[in-house]
Chains A and B, each alone.
Chain A
Amino acid sequence: MHTRTRRQRRLAAVAGTALGAMLVTGCVASERGDNSGDDAGTFVFAASAEPVTLDPAFANDGETFRVARQIFEGLVGVEQGSADPAPLLAESWEPSDDGLSYTFELKEGVTFHDGTEFNAEAVCYNFDRWHNFEGIAQSPSASYYYNNLFKGFAGDEGAVYESCEAPSDNEAVVHLTQPWAGFIAALSLPSFSMQSPTALQEYGADEIGGTEEAPSISTYGSEHPTGTGPFTFSSWDAGSQVELTAYEDYWGEQGDVTDVIFRVIDDPNARRQALEAGTIDGYDLVSPSDTVALEEDGFQIMPRDPFTILYLGINQAVPELQDVRVRQAISMAIDKEQLVNQTLPEGTELATQFIPPVVSGYNEDVTTYDYDVDAAKALLAEAGIPEGWELTFNYPTNVSRPYMPNPEEIFTVVSTQLSAIGITVVPQANEWGEYLDIMQGSADHGIHLLGWTGDYNDTDNFVGVFFGQPSMEFGFDNPELFNALTEARGTATIEDQLPLYEDINQMIAEYIPAVPLAHPAPSLAFSERVASYPVSPVNDEVYNLVELND
């Protein structure tokens, strides 16, 4: 009997709790909008990570830019399907004869998402904002691109930006302290998007630091990004997804997509499975081993034109590698065609130099070292390298980069090819972060795999980054090459730069500081629902141009 009463008491407690819950139910109102269930225009794209912030001035990563490109627009855009700069919020621009000022004619009738008018004053507000970043905002983890491309902030010697003026509503003039041929192309980066001055001020966009040691993002960057793009920010569910809604007063074509959802799925396998299960419409960086299977199952694979370079780095801190004949031999030992066929995605192009073909300054006639095992062996012998010479080969593990989807496989193929000319490869694998530390911060490595994804159409953004200054990665000192790159960078116009870069590419081809292997093409995968997608080599993909099947 005793047990029974206790049980009854327990039952009463459960019933009471349930009743309580039902009462609360009446008190908590659903905030659901009217549009629930209407998914016809919703486009769900899987992102590999969350955006770092929604203020693109403080970002340099692909996932942040992917979201930013929907919300924001810059003065300069990118021509659809290419890497070339094209008018966007500026309808045209005119550099002065000395290359020190640029006059932008602005598009009229454009408003920011908060209703603020887009005009010359807004343009100058943005330029002045970047130039006057202070404290943590100047850190390379925050304003990486401004810091790097405009060479400093207010008060810094060598800062490229001088001032901005607004003679009329739709004309802005930007003054520079020195000629900069890459200025227009650089403005196509999402970091230099035009943001609403009203919203920037209201939500304290530049207040990005709690303490010196712990920078944090601003309210603007987490909740109120305000641009002129085809989509407005709707919500950010931390760790799960970012949602955007079509901007009703958008000046351009609005398209089929009414809502964009960026769903965060960090595991590449999980992204593929989400597409197969139909919970997402598409994802980026499809693993080369998945493309065939996905295509067979009726999914669409869309490769981008390559804007990448994968290379075999050579560290000249290793004495034998200082001999150019040894570097030539390594270059000739590699069968790039086999490497590409076996390990890299469809659409990948063989590399002869360190910039992809779509970048200006590409030299068609550059010296190449064709695959020739015998010649390579002969060169090694000539350089006095004994058969079975041991060479450390560094490669990263557990990482996938757009230019290097599977480092382990690439390593296997290249090291087999090197052993064919009598080199004994000593493998040295490291996890990504540690790997970068060793490559860029120490001389303790041999040959290694690394690469680059271009930010925008700028030759210096490739060759200048690699070979513009002495580095631990390559361990050589070639003042002639450094000077040539400095000169090219400081040349006023693209036309004048072109022959200089063509020469530089030839100079590099003869010097062989590294072996260019391939320009891997990253691919996207979509469900049948997606009729077309604006594929861009520089990832300038805005979803108002996505077409959906009914």
Chain B
Amino acid sequence: MLQVIAKRLALVVPTLFGLSLLLFLWVRALPGGPASALLGERATPERVEQINELYGFNKPIHEQYLTYMGRLLSGDFGVSIQTGRPVLEEFANRFPATIELSIVALIFAVGIGVPLGYISAKRYGRLPDHVAVVVSLVGITVPVFFLAFILKYFFAVELGWFPPDGRMDARMDATHVTGFYVLDGILTAEWDAAWDAFMHLVLPGIALGTIPLAIIARITRASVLETQGADFVRTARAKGLHDSSIRDRFVLRNAMLPVVTTIGLQLGLLISGAVLTETVFAFSGIGQFLATAIFRRDYPVLQGFILFIAVLYALINLIVDVSYSIIDPRVRVQ
């Protein structure tokens, strides 16, 4: 087992190298540079030149890359051009927000998606099935930003049930320990702060979780349908096993394999969905910061953040693979 993990981890390293090079070239291929984004109307050619010199953007590109890699290997991800703070610090500051949001989105997606898919398969061809199919189809086709905007408009602006933006009310005086605001509220027993932080997560969580929900529901439905018809289920039923026992021990367990893969993949995609959701809800996570970094041509942040996300993605994939072997003993043997 450990060997498998080590092998997988070793494969990640060259992947990241390749990615770092692609990223490096990509951000520099974006039209317009950081200097004009920094100076705006005041960007005379002389000042642009001065800033490019300061950041080393006027050096040959291979030289820039070597300097960058040299620093990267010593753990220095550079400093954000827009904020003047180290990229690592910016990431650490914002990461808990995105994780918190992703967790809520995932709970929403799995908590509704799996039962929905299961019921739909159980009632195959009947009304609940049709409803579930329509719900998941709509869920997949609605663009995230549009859904976010609609949710915000009705439930925050018009009805006022939920806050429209941010991670916490501006006037809330709360103690931050871990950067996960809900958890912080619980740890410090500031229940109002925990509740407020949670309320701020509901709408963005739903917006971000809807597409994964739809996908998970569809995969669950298809997978349960397939497993239900399998020989071993028929045998179990013929042996007179109780329905709930068949469901728990045979159908669900076998049907969950593709679902777990899907959930793993969705976790990675959640982070890219967060760019849009966080922007609409002014939610200060890594997604929102990435969006402004693109606009301001903040090369170090773009390179650093996307690299971190890639590492995360690779780790999630690894965890998914490992979790296979827990669910499916056959994989363990291989």
Name A residues whose Cβ lies closer than 8 Å to a Cβ of B: 3, 21, 24-25, 28-33, 35-36, 39, 42, 44, 49-50, 52-53, 60, 136, 139-141, 144, 208, 210, 212-217, 221-222, 237-241, 261, 263-267, 269-270, 273-274, 276-280, 401, 430-437, 440-441, 450-453, 471-472
CB-based A-B contact count at 8 angstroms: 191
* Contact status B165-A273, CB under 8 Å: yes
Which residues of B have CB within 8 Å of A441?
45, 48
17 A-B pairs within 8 Å (CB atoms) are namely: A25-B189, A30-B188, A50-B83, A216-B85, A238-B83, A241-B170, A266-B279, A270-B280, A276-B157, A277-B163, A279-B163, A279-B170, A432-B295, A433-B36, A433-B297, A434-B32, A440-B48
Q: Determine whether the beta carbon of B90 is less than 8 Å from that of A25.
A: no
Note all chain B residues with C-beta closer than 8 A to A264.
282, 284
Q: Which 7 interchain pairs have the tightest Cβ spacing? A: A433-B32, A239-B284, A434-B32, A434-B31, A217-B84, A214-B79, A36-B173
- By a CB distance below 8 angstroms, the chain B residues around A214 are 55, 78-79, 300
Q: From DSSP, what is the main secondary structure of chain A's interface residues? A: mixed
Q: Is the CB of B289 within 8 A of A440?
A: no
Contacts of B190 in A (CB 8 A): 30, 32
* A238 engages B249 (CB within 8 Å): no
Taking a contact as CB atoms under 8 Å apart, the answer to whether A437 and B187 are in contact is: no
Specify which chain A residues have a CB less than 8 angstroms from the CB of B31 in the assembled complex. 430-431, 433-434, 437
> B282 near A266 (CB under 8 angstroms)?
yes
Contacts of A53 in B (CB 8 A): 84
Nearest chain A CB to B180 CB, angstrom units: 12
Q: Is the CB of B32 within 8 A of A435?
A: yes
Residue from A31, A263, A433 having most chain B Cβ neighbours under 10 A: A433
Q: Determine whether the beta carbon of A141 is less than 8 Å from that of B38.
A: yes
A24 to B93, CA, bound (A): 22
Is the CB of B320 closer than 8 A to any CB of chain A?
Answer: no
Q: Is the CB of A279 within 8 A of B45?
A: no
Q: Is B292 an interface residue (CB 8 A)?
A: yes
Whole-angstrom CA separation of A451 from B170 in the bound complex = 34
Nearest CB of B to A293, in Å = 12
Q: Is the CB of A139 within 8 A of B51?
A: yes
A239 adjacent to B288 (CB under 8 Å): yes
Asked if A141 meets B39 with Cβ closer than 8 Å, knowing A216-B85, A270-B282, A277-B164, the reply is: yes
Report whether A270 and B42 are in contact in the complex, using a CB–CB cutoff of 8 Å: no
CB closest residue in chain B, given A208 = B84
User: Which of B32, B90, B152, B296 counts the most chain A CB atoms within 10 A?
Assistant: B32
Q: Are B282 and A267 in contact (CB under 8 A)?
A: yes
**Extra contacts besides A39-B171, A140-B47, A238-B93 (17): CB < 8 Å:** A28-B177, A28-B188, A31-B188, A139-B54, A144-B42, A213-B78, A261-B170, A266-B288, A430-B32, A433-B37, A434-B31, A434-B36, A436-B43, A437-B48, A440-B45, A471-B44, A472-B45
CB of B170 within 8 A of CB of A215, answer no
Min CB gap B307→A, angstroms: 16
B295: chain A residues within 8 A (beta carbon):
432-433
CB distance from B334 to the nearest CB of A (A): 24
Contact of A452 among B41, B56, B157, B163 (CB under 8 A): B41
A49 / chain B contacts, CB cutoff of 8 Å: 292
C-alpha gap A387/B147 in the complex (Å): 49
Q: Which residues of A contact B47 (CB under 8 A)?
A: 140
Contact A436 B36 (CB under 8 A): yes
Q: Is B165 a contact partner of A216 (Cβ separation < 8 A)?
A: no
Contact B93 A29 (CB under 8 A): no
The interface residues of chain A lying within 8 Å CB-to-CB of B93 are 238-239
